[in-house]
Each structure stands twice: as structure tokens, then as C-alpha cells.
């Protein structure tokens, strides 16, 4: 990790980010998070069930030697083919092989070691509180907290094999007051980087918006207070606030202002491509698969207004979720000169 003084400004980091490849792994999840983006479980079942061995081989062949392949969507560890797919990714020269997981299965030492032996070298573990009541009020799954923490501890114990451990905490009205406690709890369990993900205003997050979605201004204010306080005892706070308009986070140290990774995933032709402009994306359809970038799906749901053109961040800003604006409006968004 670079030092704060040597890290480029947030605009430069966003512009320099490398695209990673997401492989959709399954149709089921053993948590039931209240903010899950994948509210359409039936639709996900159809899409993700199309990821077969042949599909994985095709995706890896198209992206041989890429920077990162991340296995995600559903709960990847519920798919028995995951270790084999990880092994194939390593054989295709992928430098970083990662998984987005709730970490519960990682508590089993044999399974965690199998993934690492096959080539997994980074784990993104979702955890949304520092104690069971808070975490499980959001995952709506009893005993999920203890299993996830055990998974964190297991990966920490296996860092000697060269693996990295990051976490993802989705910020809600319930856990926002506890960012500092969550951060310190996770760092004590060996987490390298703690990412606080602001919810995307779609799926269940939109369904339950009124009860769980704090304003961006509230989030930024609490994050600044926590980071300023933590900075008194830790030279460089390894916390990153992600997926929040940059104009609302100018009070945070630039080092702690994160961004959403640029990524592409593949869906069966005739399924995902209906969401895209056929004139601009036809070239990305190849046989049975269509390549879909995250920005392709988000663009229609995010908005900008004329004042945004005056902002220094306009070129790297993806806009504000339309569903968010229906609840909070534009008042908190001011162009940064």
C-alpha cells in the first residue's frame, strides 16, 4: 500500500484503475441480506445457472493473463466447482484470483486451504457489524456472524501462503454509528483493508430504502469523524469509503476516498444484451456470451444535472442513483471547483 503522500489524487486513481473480470458463480446464497442487489432471485437463477465449465473456460480464454478474475454473485462457496474454476484461472496466467464471499465456508480449514492451493490469493469477505446482533439484523441469518468471523480468522492464519484479506461492509442506518468499532474489530482480526460500501439504490436496498439508507452527507460526516479520530492512533487508516459521489466526501483524506472497481462479466446472449444498446455493444457479443460492463448497467439508473459540468470530478463521476434522488433530492450535491 502506498503512503498518503505518494498516492495519486482520487481522479488519477479512478482513471488508472484496471478492469477486472467477474465470473458469476451460482444461483443461491446462504445469507438473506436486507440490502442485496440481487432481489430477483428467479432471474438470477436462470442467469447464473448458465455458468458451466465450458462457459468458465471460454471467459478465461478471452481474458488470459488479465489483472484479476473475481468469482462472485450468489455465494460462490456454495458452488462445488469453485476450486476447479480457480485452478483453471491460475493456469490461464491470472495474477490475482479472488472471491466475494460471506466467508462462512472459509471457517473450514480444509476448504480454505483447497482454495488457496488451487490459486485463490485474495478474499473479499462481507461483514456488516462488529457483534452478532448488528450483523445478523442485516444478513437475517442466525449464527452467520460467528461463522464469518471464524472465516476471517482462518484466512488470517493462512496469510503465510501469500493471500490478502479485505472486507466489505455495506453502510446502513443501523451500522453507520459504529464505523469506528467495526473498523477496529476487523483490523484486530487481521483484515488488510476495510471497505465501507455505500448501498446502490437498487434491488432490496431500494425496496427498504426508508428504513436502511442514510443520506450521503450523513455517511460522509460519520466517516470523517471516525477516520480523523482513528488517525490519532494509526498512521494510515486502512478504511475506504466506496460508491459515494465525490462531491459529498471532500472533507475526507483523499487516501480514504475509494472507488468502485471497473469490471466486466458475461451473460448468455439474448439475456444480458437486452439491457444494452445493440448499436454500441453488438461487437461485444461473441457466440453464446455477451460482455457486460458494470457501467453499462448503472448508466441508465444514475443521473447528473447541468451544474455537474462545473465540478472537478465530472469526468470520473458516474452520477447519482435516480432512486436516491427521489428520496433525498439534489440539495446536498454541490459542484467542487
Per the DSSP assignment, residues forming a β-bridge with 267 are 290
Task: Assess if residue 332 is contained within a domain.
Answer: no
Q: How far apart are CA 130 and CA 189, in angstroms?
A: 11
At 58, which CATH number? 3.20.20.70
Q: How far apart are CA 60 and CA 123, in angstroms?
A: 19
Q: What is the pLDDT of residues 207-265, one digit of tens each?
A: 999 999 999 999 999 999 999 999 999 999 999 999 999 999 999 999 999 988 888 98
As a whole-number percent, the residues of the chain with pLDDT over 70 amount to 89
Q: How far apart are CA 55 and CA 107, in angstroms?
A: 29
Task: Assess if residue 258 is contained within a domain.
Answer: yes
pLDDT band at 42; cut points 50, 70, 90: low
Task: Assess if residue 320 is contained within a domain.
Answer: no
Residue 127: all three cell numbers together: 461483514
Least confident window among 23-32, 141-150, 232-241, 306-315 = 23-32
State phi, psi for 330 to the nearest 5 degrees: -95, -10
Task: Assess if residue 172 is contained within a domain.
Answer: yes
Task: Assess if residue 317 is contained within a domain.
Answer: no
Name the residue with higher pLDDT: 296 or 275.
Answer: 296
Q: What is the mean pLDDT of residues 268-281?
A: 52
Question: pTM of the predicted model, to two decimals?
Answer: 0.91
pLDDT band at 333; cut points 50, 70, 90: very high
Instruction: List CB contacts of 244: < 8 A, sequence separation 6 or more.
Output: 198, 216, 219, 220
- Note the residue count of the chain: 337
Question: β-strand 164-171 against 239-242: which pairing, if any?
Answer: unpaired
Q: Quick check: 285 and 269 in contact, CB under 8 A?
A: yes
Q: What is the pLDDT of residues 173-208, one digit of tens each?
A: 999 999 999 999 999 999 999 999 999 888 899 999
Task: Assess if residue 135 is contained within a domain.
Answer: yes
State phi, psi for 86 to the nearest 5 degrees: -65, -45
Q: Is residue 6's pLDDT more than 60? A: no
Name the residue with higher pLDDT: 288 or 285.
Answer: 288
Closest C-alpha to 148, from 96, 186, 194: 186
Q: Quick check: 242 and 294 in contact, CB under 8 A?
A: no
Closest C-alpha to 200, from 295, 109, 287, 135: 295
Q: How far apart are CA 311 and CA 298, in angstroms?
A: 20
Task: Assess if residue 161 is contained within a domain.
Answer: yes
Number of domains the chain is built from: 1
Residue 214: all three cell numbers together: 442514510
Q: How far apart are CA 35 and CA 212, in angstroms?
A: 8
Q: What is the mean pLDDT of residues 263-283?
A: 59
DSSP assignment of 306-321:
GGGGGSTTTTT---EE
Task: Assess if residue 308 is contained within a domain.
Answer: no
> What is the pLDDT, as a whole number, of residue 50?
78
Q: Quick check: 65 and 94 in contact, CB under 8 A?
A: yes
Residue 184's Cβ-side half-sphere holds a number of Cα atoms within 13 Å equal to 10
Residue 119: all three cell numbers together: 490459486
Q: What is the mean pLDDT of residues 151-157?
A: 98
pLDDT band at 19; cut points 50, 70, 90: confident
As a whole-number percent, the residues of the chain with pLDDT over 90 amount to 75
Per the DSSP assignment, residues forming a β-bridge with 57 are none
Domain range for 184 is 10-301
Instruction: List CB contacts of 104: < 8 A, sequence separation 6 or more.
Output: 30, 31, 77, 144, 147, 148, 151
Amino acid at each position: 500500500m502506498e503512503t498518503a503522500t505518494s498516492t495519486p489524487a482520487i481522479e488519477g486513481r479512478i482513471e488508472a484503475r484496471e478492469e477486472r473480470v467477474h465470473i458469476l458463480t451460482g444461483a443461491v446464497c446462504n445469507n438473506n441480506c436486507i440490502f442485496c442487489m440481487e432481489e430477483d432471485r428467479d432471474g438470477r437463477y436462470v442467469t447464473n445457472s448458465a455458468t458451466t465449465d465450458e462457459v468458465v473456460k471460454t471467459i478465461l480464454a478471452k481474458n488470459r493473463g488479465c489483472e484479476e478474475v473475481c468469482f462472485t454473485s450468489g455465494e460462490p462457496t456454495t458452488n462445488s466447482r469453485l476450486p476447479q474454476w480457480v485452478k483453471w484461472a491460475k493456469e490461464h496466467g491470472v495474477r490475482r484470483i479472488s472471491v466475494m464471499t460471506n466467508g462462512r465456508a472459509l471457517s473450514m480449514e480444509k476448504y480454505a486451504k483447497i482454495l488457496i492451493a488451487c490459486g485463490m490469493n485474495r478474499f473479499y469477505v462481507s461483514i456488516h457489524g462488529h457483534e452478532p446482533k448488528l450483523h445478523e439484523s442485516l444478513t437475517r441469518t442466525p449464527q452467520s456472524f460467528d461463522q464469518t468471523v471464524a472465516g476471517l480468522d482462518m484466512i488470517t492464519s493462512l496469510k503465510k501462503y501469500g493471500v490478502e484479506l479485505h472486507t466489505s461492509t455495506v453502510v446502513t442506518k443501523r451500522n453507520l454509528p459504529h464505523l469506528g468499532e467495526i473498523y477496529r474489530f476487523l483490523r484486530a482480526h487481521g483484515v488488510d483493508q476495510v471497505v465501507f460500501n455505500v448501498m446502490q439504490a437498487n434491488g432490496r436496498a431500494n425496496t427498504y430504502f426508508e428504513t436502511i439508507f442514510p443520506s450521503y452527507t450523513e455517511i460522509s460526516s460519520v466517516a470523517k469523524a471516525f477516520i480523523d479520530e482513528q488517525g490519532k492512533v494509526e498512521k494510515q487508516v486502512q478504511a475506504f469509503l466506496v460508491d459515494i459521489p465525490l462531491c459529498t466526501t471532500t472533507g475526507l483524506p483523499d487516501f480514504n476516498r475509494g472507488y468502485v472497481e471497473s469490471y466486466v462479466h458475461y451473460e448468455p446472449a439474448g439475456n444480458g444484451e437486452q439491457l444494452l444498446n445493440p448499436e454500441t455493444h453488438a461487437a461485444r457479443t461473441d457466440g453464446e456470451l455477451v460482455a457486460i460492463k458494470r457501467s453499462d448497467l448503472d448508466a441508465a439508473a444514475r443521473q447528473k444535472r447541468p451544474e455537474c459540468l462545473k465540478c472537478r470530478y465530472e469526468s470520473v463521476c458516474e452520477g447519482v442513483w435516480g432512486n436516491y434522488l427521489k428520496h433525498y433530492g439534489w440539495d446536498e450535491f454541490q459542484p467542487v471547483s
